[in-house]
A = this chain, B = another copy of it.
Amino acid sequence: MSDVKKAVLAYSGGLDTSVILKWLQDTYQCEVVTFTADLGQGEELEPARQKAVNFGIKPENIFIDDLREEFVRDFVFPMFRANTVYEGEYLLGTSIARPLIAKRQIEIANLTGADAVSHGATGKGNDQVRFELGYYALRPDIKVIAPWREWDLNSREKLLDYAEKHGIDIAKKKNGGSPYSMDANLLHISYEGQVLENPADEPEEDMWLWSVSPEKAPDAAEYVELEYELGDIVGINGVKMSPATVLATLNQLGGKHGIGRLDLVENRFVGMKSRGCYETPGGTIMLKAHRAIESICLDREVAHLKDELMPKYASLIYNGYWWAPERLMLQGMIDASQAHVNGWVRVKLYKGNVIVVGRDSKESLFDANIATFEDDGGAYNQADAAGFIKLNALRMRIAAKLRT
């Protein structure tokens, strides 16, 4: 173990990664570089700096980066272009942040001459895979330290003992704070563990942090107009915004109206089922609205091909293959499909509902002349349908004739 010289740790400043920081120093006798990212999780990051200093980390080894715009622009938005949903429900809020953290960690390792990276994900979950596939794809010879798979602090009890013994602040954890295992970023907040470990039980109302319940949401609906360019939202209610601002704004709107709560059992890449609850207020609005703008701007077969490939694309992201060549290959195709996805969508937000009430585009393929129930002036010849049906039926007619 003594072969590690310098390790870049994904450091939140919380209890777990503080223990890891100390454990790395003690176990590997290595220099530690801390990396703390602002992905919109809504926590102060500067305290992490002070904590790092307290552990003896050199100032030049402390990295605190605001990655919010990069996160939404290069990760969240590309994913939403595909209407991506894992197992019919999950909007991949945690999954999509990991590749960015991994990328930045490797960049910092390269900058600081580190030969190892470390993270605080456990050996049971998906996140270890997402981090490490990213590390290996971007720097194949990197050493990876996953303390949860190595140490013997395999219970909360032992972890707290270790923390106390090494003077790590555990106050908050001992007398309060959420009991759930959580992850948050601009796209979502997630909850696992505790009562959720029984899929038969309803989560408690006070677990949810980002959204009001539909019951508590305003009695008046709110209309919002979203403007699209190349499949991405670039403006809300007539105001142009940066990607991160778009998502923050939609989170605020969605959270206010009780939108985006999800309670599900999912299949982890490592092989077990797990129960998770998620709040994705802005993402829920984005998914619904993106399908609406695509419904008028995409060719039918392009849309269907996207739909057929989406589950695979979602699995790739869920499983941590963001940096894999097949994800990049699919992304190229998905991005190309958005060339004409420009226009606007109007949605109505009301007590948990996202209701599409209008959509339009200068590049709309909706042809009112042909679609009309009224006289179409010859735009469409109904007689064509007879031959269309006859030949589409031909193989079935032949089979029915020859086999009876």
Residues of A within 8 A of B (CB): 83, 87-89, 122-124, 128-129, 132-133, 136-141, 146, 148-149, 154-156, 181, 192-194, 197-203, 214-215, 219, 221, 261, 263-267, 270-275, 291-292, 295-296, 299-305, 307-308, 311-312, 315, 321, 323-326, 329-330, 332-333, 336-337, 340, 346, 348, 350-353, 355-360, 363-368, 370-375, 380-403
Instruction: Report chain B residues within 8 Å CB of A396.
Output: 133, 136-137, 140, 299, 323-325
Quote the shortest CB–CB distance from A378 to chain B (angstroms).
10
A325/B352 contact (C-beta < 8 A), A181-B373, A364-B199 known: no
The complex places the Cα of A273 from the Cα of B321 at a distance, in Å, of 19
A381/B374 contact (C-beta < 8 A), A329-B302, A368-B197 known: no
Are A391 and B393 interface neighbours, CB within 8 A? no
Quote the shortest CB–CB distance from A383 to chain B (angstroms).
6
Q: List 12 A-B contacts (CB under 8 A).
A: A136-B400, A181-B373, A198-B368, A264-B295, A271-B300, A272-B394, A272-B395, A301-B325, A302-B325, A305-B312, A384-B386, A386-B387
A387/B395 contact (C-beta < 8 A), A305-B326, A368-B197 known: no
Q: With contacts A154-B382, A388-B391 known, what are 15 further pairs, Cβ within 8 A?
A: A83-B88, A122-B382, A136-B390, A141-B401, A199-B295, A200-B360, A267-B304, A271-B392, A273-B295, A273-B296, A300-B395, A301-B324, A304-B311, A323-B396, A370-B398
Are A304 and B295 interface neighbours, CB within 8 A? no
How many copies of this chain sit in the oligomeric assembly? Answer: 4
Instruction: Report chain B residues within 8 Å CB of A274.
Output: 371
Instruction: Report chain B residues within 8 Å CB of A359.
Output: 199-200, 265
The complex places the Cα of A336 from the Cα of B87 at a distance, in Å, of 19
**Which of B215, B272, B321, B357 contacts A350, CB < 8 Å?**
B215
Residue of B nearest to A129 (CB): B389
Instruction: Report chain B residues within 8 Å CB of A299.
Output: 324-326, 395-396, 399
A353/B214 contact (C-beta < 8 A), A89-B291, A270-B385, A395-B267 known: yes
The complex places the Cα of A312 from the Cα of B304 at a distance, in Å, of 8
